[in-house]
């Protein structure tokens, strides 16, 4: 009975081991699937990051050129306003007088 018990016990152990091995294989396959999904997702994220960095670089170039153009325009406006402030003030006074007389004339006709 000792050998029979040992043989029966050994068969039971193999049977239990087989169940654990199958469970382990199933979990391994599940883990492999998840790792594969994470890998493909990380590759897609890397591609998207490269595209976004490229777009940001292009936008930076565009903003730099626009900033240069705006800076040049502001410089011209400063130069224009410094050089002819007396003329500008004279034109503003003449325009104000003209508007005043037009309004006065409109009111007088009514």
Total-model pTM: 0.47
According to DSSP H, which parts of 1-110 are helical? 2-83, 85-109
Let me know if residue 51 belongs to a domain.
yes
Let me know if residue 6 belongs to a domain.
no
Let me know if residue 101 belongs to a domain.
no
pLDDT tens-digit map of 15-47: 667 888 999 999 999 999 999 999 999 999 999
Percent of the chain with pLDDT over 70: 80
Let me know if residue 18 belongs to a domain.
yes
Let me know if residue 4 belongs to a domain.
no
Rg of the chain over Cα atoms, rounded to whole angstroms, equals 43
Let me know if residue 22 belongs to a domain.
yes
Place of tokens 């007396």: 86
pLDDT of residue 4: 46
Split into its structural domains, the chain has a count of: 1
Let me know if residue 94 belongs to a domain.
no
Mean pLDDT of the chain: 82
Domain extent for 51: 14-83
Q: How many CB atoms lie within 10 A of CB 30?
A: 10
């Amino acid at each position: 009975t000792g050998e029979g018990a040992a043989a029966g016990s050994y068969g039971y152990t193999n049977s239990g081991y087989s169940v654990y091995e199958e469970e382990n294989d199933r979990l391994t396959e599940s883990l492999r699937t998840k790792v594969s999904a994470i890998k493909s997702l990380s590759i897609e994220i890397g591609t998207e990051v490269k595209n976004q960095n490229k777009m940001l670089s292009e936008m930076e170039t565009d903003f730099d050129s626009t900033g240069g153009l705006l800076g040049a325009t502001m410089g011209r406006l400063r130069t224009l306003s410094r050089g002819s402030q007396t003329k500008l003030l004279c034109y503003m006074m003449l325009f104000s007088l003209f508007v005043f007389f037009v309004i006065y004339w409109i009111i007088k006709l009514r």
